[in-house]
Amino acid sequence: MKKLGIFCLFVAILLLIAVLVSLLPSDAWYVRTIDMVREPMSWIAAILLIVAVVVKAPTRWPTVGVLALVIAINVWRIWPYSGFAEAQVRLASGSDAAQDGQCFTAMAVNVKVKNKGYAAIARQIREYDPDVLFLMETDKEWIDQLEPVLSPYGFVRRHPQPHAFGLVFATRLPVAKANIVENTYRDTPTLYATLEPAGAPPIEFIGLHPKPPLPGWNTEQRDENIVNAGVQTPDRLPDALVMGDFNDVPWSRTTTRFRETGDWRDPRIGRGTYATFPSRYLFAGWPLDQLMVKGDLEVGSFAVLPDNGSDHRAMYTRVCARPAGG
């Protein structure tokens, strides 16, 4: 029992060091990675706390104190994305926009470029049949394999890349224009599309997939990509929808800055974290894929979809716009 108690205290101290490091205003990849895993880290700390109490080792109360501090800091950071906080977005199922039928569905999927489960992704796209479809990590092979589900769309913009940053945008809504923009670096493009739903004002759709914080890849580039995507929109339209794999969590200082400086609203706030990665282990996952709206757009519903074979779950939403002149 004594050895187990010492082990629990040792792990507790490591967790505390990690959570304190995550608060540093640094772009280092390891600092930003720790920021992503606050939720699973808190579950680990809670389990260890219970073990420490049950074991009744001499180190029990110091261990409990350290673990309680770890949990408190993490809960403080992710609190807005809990079911106890006030919701930022009211779901619009009963709104005038929804009743008037000025609504469309949108789906964003990171297919994982090395994944060969083409049929599963295609099957999910067919099942949910979104009006707007945004795909990430699409190389030429992925685009070729998904052509049967892409071809029925009235507008398709294909941007294959041989690595993990290819994009595809498809929609059956009228499109005024759609551009692939290099906000920061050539190999991490951002999609901007101006949509013109019938009977509603134009809407800007932004599809985003910046680099992740990996060894050798600090987050300065990614952070710049995320923030620029929200504030440098080509048409400066008041109504906009952004979706994509941000490779960042919504409570991070970067995504928070994106949301606040661009006046975006996040439907996760006040409802839960809605983890999307890793797809098969969401109980220990975190929300890398984002969905936000601004202006008069309303969210009718949103969901993290079932496992489709990728390492990310797809995000799906029904968005409603106010009628033109309304």
Q: For the segment 129-147, what is each residue's pLDDT rounded down to a tens digit?
A: 999 999 999 999 999 999 9
Q: What are the two backbone dihedrals, phi and then psi, of residue 315, each rounded to the nearest 5 degrees?
A: -105, 140
The rounded distance, in Å, linking the Cα atoms of 18 and 69 is 12
Q: For the segment 86-141, what is each residue's pLDDT rounded down to a tens digit?
A: 999 988 765 555 555 589 999 999 999 999 999 999 999 999 999 999 999 999 99
The pLDDT value recorded for residue 224 is 74
Q: Token pair for residue 56?
A: 């009744």
The domain ranges of the chain are 2-81, 96-320
Q: Is the peptide bond before 234 cis (omega within 30 degrees of 0)?
A: no
The fold for domain 96-320 equals Deoxyribonuclease I; Chain A (3.60.10)
The pLDDT value recorded for residue 40 is 93
Coil, strand or helix: which one is 165? coil
Alpha helices in the chain (DSSP H): 2-21, 29-36, 38-55, 60-78, 96-99, 118-128, 140-150, 220-231, 253-261
Give the amino acid at 23: L
The pLDDT value recorded for residue 304 is 98
Q: For the segment 253-299, what is each residue's pLDDT rounded down to a tens digit?
A: 889 989 998 899 999 999 999 999 999 999 889 999 999 999 999 99
Give the amino acid at 241: L
Q: What number of H helices and E strands is found in the chain?
A: 9, 11
The rounded distance, in Å, linking the Cα atoms of 176 and 217 is 36
Give the amino acid at 77: R
Give the amino acid at 91: L
Q: For the segment 159-177, what is each residue's pLDDT rounded down to a tens digit?
A: 999 888 999 999 999 999 9
